[in-house]
Structure 1
Amino acid sequence: MSMPSRTASVPPRILVIDDHRDFGALVQRVAEKAGYMVRLTDSPDGFRDLCATFQPDLICLDIVMPQEDGIELIRWLAGSGSRAAVYIMTGHSPAFARAAVEIGRSRGLNIAGILQKPVSLATLRDILTAARPGSSLPAAAD
Structure 2
Amino acid sequence: MPEQKLYIADDNSEFADYLTTVAVRLGWTVEVCKNGNELLELLLGEGGPAVVLVDINMPEKDGIEVIEGLSEIDRPLRFRFMTGGADAPMLAAKLMARARNLSVGRNLYKPIPMETLKRVLTEEWEELLVMGSSSNLPA
Q: TM-score, normalised by structure 2?
A: 0.81
The aligned counterpart of 2:25 is 33
| Seq. identity, % | 27
What is the CA distance between 1:83 and its match in structure 2? 3.0
Task: Report how far residue 82 of structure 1 moved.
Answer: 4.9
Q: Write the deviation string for residues 52-97 of structure 1: whole angstroms up to 9, x where unpaired.
A: 2333511001111122221110111134345300000111112221
For 2:36 and 2:124, locate their aligned partners in 1 and report how far apart those are by CA, in whole Å. 24
**Where does the alignment leave 5 or more consecutive residues of structure 1 unmatched?**
1-7, 137-142
Q: RMSD across aligned C-alpha pairs, in angstroms?
A: 2.0
CA contact (8 A) 2:16 2:32 kept: yes
- Quote the Cα distance in structure 2 between the aligned partners of 1:83 and 1:131: 11
Alpha-carbon separation, structure 1, partners of 2:110 and 2:55:
10
Which residue, 107, 115, 129 being the options, matches 1:122? 115
TM-score by length of 1: 0.80
User: Which one-letter code corresponds to 1:68 in the other structure?
Assistant: K
Amino acid at match of 2:119: D
| Equivalence for 1:90 | 83
Match of 1:21 among 6, 10, 13: 13
Structure 1 match to 2:38:
46
- The answer on whether the counterparts of 2:54 and 2:82 sit within 8 Å (CA) in structure 1 is yes
Partners of 1:12 and 1:18 in 2: CA distance: 19
| Structure ranking higher in helix proportion | 2
Runs of 4 or more above 6 Å deviation = none
Q: 1:139 is matched with which residue?
A: none
Structure 2 gap ranges (5+): 131-139
